[in-house]
């Protein structure tokens, strides 16, 4: 009898264990419109504590007992999207694809909300079309053809019209293929024309993505090999060599006497991972020709009476980035960081060769950047960027350092505004940029301003650098004479302070900028105003 009882207990325990067998539920959560992964989505079985948070690529894994799977629906929740209750099919628990739909009326900026409320295609078309047009500009993308089936887009719409002192009025059109043509192979191209200098400019890109993409090649995580070729205007004191020209800055008068025509070809490979580590390798060949008073002249004009017509350089390098929990909300060609609260570290090194009088010179350059958004509870947040750059070897002045030449920033930190494009030259420099956006401060105590969403803005930017003897031009080292507008920094850092208002109608930002140091040089801008659209 005891033996029989024992056997029954063992059998009963086994049956209980079988009833509580654990299984694994795995899958990915996507945006139902863009078909891009959604990061950090909450998933749990309703009425239980069993669940998971999707990773930066939208992937999730849940270890759960079979009875919970059979009895309870899976609840999927994400801000800005409709919550879903999903009854799982036991046949496909290892490869789920869940699609969340945006809520019917997502929070949109007040200016657009006003156009949307007032607008009607039939009765009140002007606000309606302003609403549509503003959305297109914010998306910076216009499908050519049916938006559901088109294979080519117009993009960089904000750069179609531009004006600068070198080209005068300028027009540029940019087109790009999308994943409907090929989910791995992508092409981009742009053609521009300056009516004053009467020159065409162009840029072409061909990218192969080793991962299948939903719409475009820059979707997170990138795993791309890319070939670039560009022939365009370029200001050495303004641009990071890999990024497109910022025509808002180039049109500003500070780039006078510091403009060039640059032609370059680059091959690079970039890999982003779901655990926050990314890297980029590149090889580049460039030719930079003066387009203004900028010349490549020798110190010893008896030996080299004529300026060098073109500066040629070859370089390659590696860039590393570590950003814990890196993730994005992706919409067509835009990707917006999911959160900026984690610290971001960037380190890059460039090795190159350039032409100078007397032969070619090898140069090395290192850049390090730290970026962080610091939350200040109910009082807003502080965006902080610290970066250090150094050219370790001799190099001609277009390859040295200027305050605005590093633009690998993720947090909202605008460049210096009142300095000349090539006013300060360094081969070693350290900069600090801090931007404070207030909340629950003074504007929140004024009912009208609070309702409009106005926020106070305070910014401090500073850079300190030096130029070593090896990069001061001389007859012996063969370096080019420095531009007439360029000076060496003293022990005093260059600093700017900003007070402003942001989030005006959810769209605009107005700043007053004050130059705090180096104010006594001729023709310097001591203050200025800036209006920016924060798309």
Alpha carbon distances (Å) from 444 to 440, 451, 503: 5, 8, 13
Q: Which of 33, 27, 101 is nearest to 57 (CA)?
A: 27
pLDDT, residue 40, reads 94
Query: What are the structural domain ranges in the chain?
Result: 20-100, 220-533
**Check whether domain 20-100 has CATH 2.60.40.1120, yes or no:** yes
For residue 401, the 8-state DSSP code is B
pLDDT, residue 149, reads 92
pLDDT, residue 10, reads 46
- What is the full per-residue pLDDT of the chain (535 aa) written as tens digits? 445 554 444 444 444 444 457 888 999 999 998 889 999 999 999 988 899 999 999 999 999 888 888 888 999 999 889 999 988 876 668 889 999 998 865 455 566 666 666 666 666 666 666 767 777 777 778 899 898 899 999 988 878 888 878 888 889 999 999 999 999 999 999 999 999 999 999 999 999 999 999 999 999 999 999 999 999 988 887 755 445 544 444 445 566 778 889 999 999 999 999 999 999 999 999 999 988 778 899 898 888 888 989 999 999 999 999 999 999 988 888 888 888 889 999 999 999 998 887 778 899 999 999 999 999 988 999 999 999 999 999 999 999 999 876 555 566 666 788 888 888 999 999 999 999 999 888 888 888 888 778 899 999 999 999 999 999 999 888 899 998 888 899 999 999 999 999 888 777 788 999 999 999 988 888 998 888 766 5
* Beta carbons of 169 and 195 less than 8 angstroms apart: yes
* Beta carbons of 512 and 533 less than 8 angstroms apart: no
pLDDT, residue 254, reads 63
Alpha carbon distances (Å) from 108 to 116, 117, 313: 10, 12, 47
- Model confidence, pTM: 0.86
Tokens 């050219």 belong to which residue? Answer: 391
Give CA 527 to chain center in angstroms: 28
pLDDT, residue 534, reads 64
pLDDT, residue 195, reads 94
* Beta carbons of 259 and 166 less than 8 angstroms apart: yes
Between strands 96-100 and 22-31, the pairing is parallel
Omega before 393 cis (within 30°)? Answer: no
3-state secondary structure of 238: coil
pLDDT, residue 406, reads 59
pLDDT, residue 26, reads 92
pLDDT, residue 405, reads 63
Q: Which of 343, 369, 342, 365 is nearest to 352 (CA)?
A: 365
pLDDT, residue 334, reads 82
* Beta carbons of 350 and 364 less than 8 angstroms apart: yes
Alpha carbon distance, N-terminus to C-terminus of the chain: 80
DSSP string, 421-468: TTSB-BSEEEEEEEEEEESSSSGGGSHHHHHHT-EEEEEEEEEEEE--
- Write the burial class of residue 407 (CB in 10 Å: 0-12 exposed, 13-18 middle, 19+ buried): middle
Alpha carbon distances (Å) from 378 to 33, 87, 374, 398: 34, 40, 12, 45
Alpha carbon distances (Å) from 34 to 30, 105, 244, 335: 8, 17, 25, 11
* Beta carbons of 377 and 385 less than 8 angstroms apart: no
What is 220-533's CATH topology? Porin (2.40.160)
For residue 245, the 8-state DSSP code is P
Residue 476: beta bridge partners?
none
């Amino acid at each position: 009898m005891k033996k029989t009882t024992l056997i029954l207990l063992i059998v009963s325990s086994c049956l209980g264990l079988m009833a509580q067998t654990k299984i694994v539920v795995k899958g990915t959560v996507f945006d139902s419109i863009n078909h891009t992964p959604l990061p950090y989505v909450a998933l749990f079985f309703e009425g239980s504590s069993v669940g998971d948070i999707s990773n930066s690529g939208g992937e999730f894994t849940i270890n759960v007992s079979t009875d919970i799977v059979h009895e309870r629906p899976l609840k999927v929740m994400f801000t800005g999207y409709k919550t879903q209750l999903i009854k799982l099919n036991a046949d496909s628990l290892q490869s789920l694809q869940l699609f969340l739909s945006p809520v019917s009326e997502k929070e949109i900026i007040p200016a657009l909300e006003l156009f949307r409320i007032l607008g009607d295609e039939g009765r009140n078309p002007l606000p309606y079309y302003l609403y549509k047009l503003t959305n297109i500009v914010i998306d910076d993308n216009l499908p050519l053809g049916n938006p559901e089936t088109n294979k080519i887009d117009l993009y960089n719409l904000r750069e179609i019209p531009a004006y600068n002192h070198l080209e005068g009025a300028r027009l540029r059109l940019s087109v790009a293929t999308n994943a409907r043509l090929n989910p791995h192979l992508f092409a981009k191209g742009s053609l521009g024309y300056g009516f004053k200098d009467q020159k065409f400019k162009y840029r072409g890109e061909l990218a192969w993505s080793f991962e299948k993409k939903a719409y475009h090649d820059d979707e997170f995580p990138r795993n791309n090999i890319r070939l670039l070729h560009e022939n365009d205007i370029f200001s050495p004191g303004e641009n990071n060599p890999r990024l497109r020209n910022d025509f808002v800055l180039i049109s500003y008068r500070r780039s006078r006497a510091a403009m060039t025509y640059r032609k370059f070809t680059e091959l690079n490979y970039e890999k982003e991972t779901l655990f926050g580590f990314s890297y980029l390798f590149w090889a580049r060949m460039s030719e930079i020709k003066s387009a203004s008073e900028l010349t490549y002249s020798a110190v010893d004009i008896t030996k080299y009476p004529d300026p060098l017509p073109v500066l040629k350089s070859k370089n390659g390098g590696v860039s590393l980035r570590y950003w814990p929990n890196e993730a994005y909300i992706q919409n067509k060609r835009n990707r917006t960081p999911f959160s900026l609260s984690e610290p971001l570290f960037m380190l890059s090194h460039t090795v190159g060769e350039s032409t100078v009088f007397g032969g070619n010179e090898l140069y090395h350059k290192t850049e390090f950047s730290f970026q962080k958004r610091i939350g200040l509870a109910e009082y807003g947040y502080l965006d902080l960027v610290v970066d250090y750059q150094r050219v370790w070897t001799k190099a001609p002045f277009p390859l040295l350092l200027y305050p605005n030449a590093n633009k690998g920033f993720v947090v909202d930190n605008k460049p210096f505004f009142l300095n000349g494009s090539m006013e300060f030259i360094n081969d070693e420099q350290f900069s600090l940029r801090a931007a404070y956006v207030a909340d629950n401060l003074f504007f929140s105590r004024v009912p009208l301003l609070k309702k409009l969403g106005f926020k106070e803005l305070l910014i401090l930017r500073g850079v300190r650098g030096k130029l070593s003897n090896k990069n001061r031009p001389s007859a012996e080292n063969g370096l080019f004479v420095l531009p007439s507008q360029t000076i060496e920094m003293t022990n005093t850092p260059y600093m700017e302070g900003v007070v402003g208002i942001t989030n005006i109608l959810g769209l605009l930002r107005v700043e007053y900028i004050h130059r705090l140091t180096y104010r006594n040089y001729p023709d310097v801008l001591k203050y200025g105003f800036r209006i920016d659209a924060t798309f």
